[in-house]
């Protein structure tokens, strides 16, 4: 099986031993508390689940700046975006060596992790701006990912963590949320050797379905892991439970049995385009995938990134040998009226735009909101029905 990134075996930071877990939970009651932001909490979930292997916790200032500058930590580990615990208020933890990180995304604000504080350092405004521009490839304050990042705080709390729970992801998505450990185990149970991973934060239409099948055929894969983001998105994106239901219906009806794993991970979308695509590749390697599909404008938003920037970064900025996972590069995929099937547009050079069934996201949302199903060449009718029910509910 493919090795995880940066180590021979996966090192999840969740405390699985029940006695140790109980002792930590009791200890955390009396530790200085820090109510973290959603980004820090989701970083803890990803660290706990093994997705951010081999990191042992949150990065310090030097590592964060180094990662932004060169995509390497100060000790040489390849990593594309800093994994940080940022806050704007350190009054409660100023002299603490051990603290309890409390989760802002669950009503009771439970302790998501216990942290050994190695350092509390302060970023200057210029350093925050420098990191933001490197991560998001823009200085535009309207970029949703950049706007979130610069609002998280200037104090950087670094150190190792022990994770006690997976926030709301395990309770709200019990059938879908899986750790990297669990996915690796399931891949082994299936006996799969070549495994394609597909990232989604949206429902899957015909083009996405066929893209998964194309990638599996092209690399002769045993199966595909449809791996959906379950964390916070930008306003207007379709909620995770609706996406989950739509994807499950599509897989049930239109994929061969025992070729698909449907799972999700607990992370907030960064919208960091190329750098986020590299992060996505790292944690798909950690969960055991050998191949990862990257299409047009992967992890992008608006017009901030070129259509294939998330692919070319693997040629231009990811050093040879830094990752074991292989990238399957996809073009825009659409239904061809000429060929009566879904194709990658680059593979149909004799086509004009009119030869494809193309609908903008805005147009699709309008149709669904009006109770009009998109054409079956674009969306499977059973999937469209689930989405129409959601939009009807929104309008009611």
Closest-CA residue to 277 (of 301, 245, 248):
301
- Within 8 A by CB and 6+ apart from 128, the residues are 149, 150, 154
Q: State residue 103's pLDDT score.
A: 97
- As assigned by CATH, the class of the 18-170 domain is alpha beta
Q: What is the pLDDT along the chain (396 residues), one digit of tens a residue?
A: 999 999 999 999 999 999 999 999 999 999 999 999 999 999 999 999 999 999 999 999 999 999 999 999 999 999 999 999 999 999 999 899 999 999 999 999 999 999 999 999 999 999 999 999 999 999 999 999 999 999 999 999 999 999 999 999 999 999 999 999 999 999 999 999 999 999 998 889 999 999 999 999 999 999 999 999 998 766 777 888 899 999 999 999 999 999 999 999 999 999 999 999 999 999 999 999 999 999 989 999 999 999 999 999 999 999 999 999 999 999 988 899 999 999 999 999 999 999 999 887 778 888 888 899 999 999 999 999 999 999 888 755
- Token readout for 183 is 């996915």
pLDDT of residue 395: 57
pLDDT at 137: 97
Domain 175-395: give its CATH architecture: 3-Layer(aba) Sandwich (3.40)
Distance, CA of 53 to CA of 137 (rounded, Å): 25
- Alpha helical stretches, state H, 220-273: 240-254
Q: How far is residue 227's CA from residue 225's CA, in Å, rounded to a whole number? A: 6
Q: Which of 11, 98, 202, 389 is catalytic?
A: 202
Domain with CATH 3.10.400.10 in the chain: 18-170
- Output the six-digit token pair for 124: 């200057």
Q: What is the pLDDT of residue 330?
A: 94
- Give the SS3 label for residue 48: helix
201 is annotated as an active-site residue: yes
* CA–CA distance, 85 with 34 (Å, rounded to integer): 10
For residues 244 and 187, is the Cβ–Cβ distance under 8 A?
A: no
Q: What count of residues does the chain have?
A: 396
Annotated catalytic residue within 201, 248, 365, 389: 201
Active site residue 202: yes
Q: Where do you find CATH 3.40.50.620 in the chain?
A: 175-395
């Amino acid at each position: 099986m493919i090795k995880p990134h940066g180590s021979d075996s996966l090192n999840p930071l969740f405390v699985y031993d029940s006695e140790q877990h109980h002792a930590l939970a009791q200890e955390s009651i009396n530790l200085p508390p820090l109510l973290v932001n959603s980004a820090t909490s989701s970083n803890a979930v990803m660290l706990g689940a093994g997705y951010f292997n081999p990191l042992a916790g949150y990065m310090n200032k030097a590592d964060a700046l180094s990662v932004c500058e060169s995509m390497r930590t100060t000790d040489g580990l390849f990593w594309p975006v800093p994994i940080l615990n940022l806050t704007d208020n350190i009054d409660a933890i100023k002299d603490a060596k051990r603290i309890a990180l409390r989760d802002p995304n669950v009503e009771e604000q439970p302790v998501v992790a216990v942290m050994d504080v190695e350092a509390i350092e302060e970023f200057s405004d210029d350093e925050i701006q420098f990191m933001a521009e490197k991560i998001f490839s823009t200085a535009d304050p309207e970029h949703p990912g950049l706007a979130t990042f610069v609002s998280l705080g200037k104090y950087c709390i670094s150190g190792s963590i022990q994770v006690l729970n997976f926030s709301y992801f395990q309770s709200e998505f019990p059938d879908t949320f899986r750790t990297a450990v669990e996915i690796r185990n399931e891949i082994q149970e299936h006996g799969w050797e070549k495994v394609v991973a597909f990232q989604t934060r949206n429902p899957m239409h015909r083009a996405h379905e066929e893209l998964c099948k194309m990638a599996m055929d092209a690399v002769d894969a045993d199966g595909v892991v449809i791996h959906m983001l379950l964390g916070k998105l930008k306003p207007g994106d379709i909620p995770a439970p609706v996406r989950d239901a739509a994807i499950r219906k599509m897989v049930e009806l239109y994929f061969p049995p025992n070729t698909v794993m449907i799972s999700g991970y607990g992370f907030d979308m960064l919208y960091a385009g190329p750098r986020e695509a590299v992060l996505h590749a790292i944690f798909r390697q950690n969960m055991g995938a050998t191949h990862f599909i990257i299409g047009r404008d992967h992890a992008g938003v608006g017009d901030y990134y070129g259509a294939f920037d998330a692919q070319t970064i693997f040629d231009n900025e990811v050093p040879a040998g830094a990752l074991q996972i292989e990238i399957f590069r996809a073009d825009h995929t659409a239904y061809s009226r000429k060929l009566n099937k879904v194709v990658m547009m680059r593979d149909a050079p004799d086509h004009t735009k009119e030869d494809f069934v193309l609908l903008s996201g805005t147009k699709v949302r309008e149709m669904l909101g009006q109770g009009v199903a998109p054409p079956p060449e674009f969306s499977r009718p059973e999937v469209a029905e689930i989405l129409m029910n959601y939009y009807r509910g929104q309008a009611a």
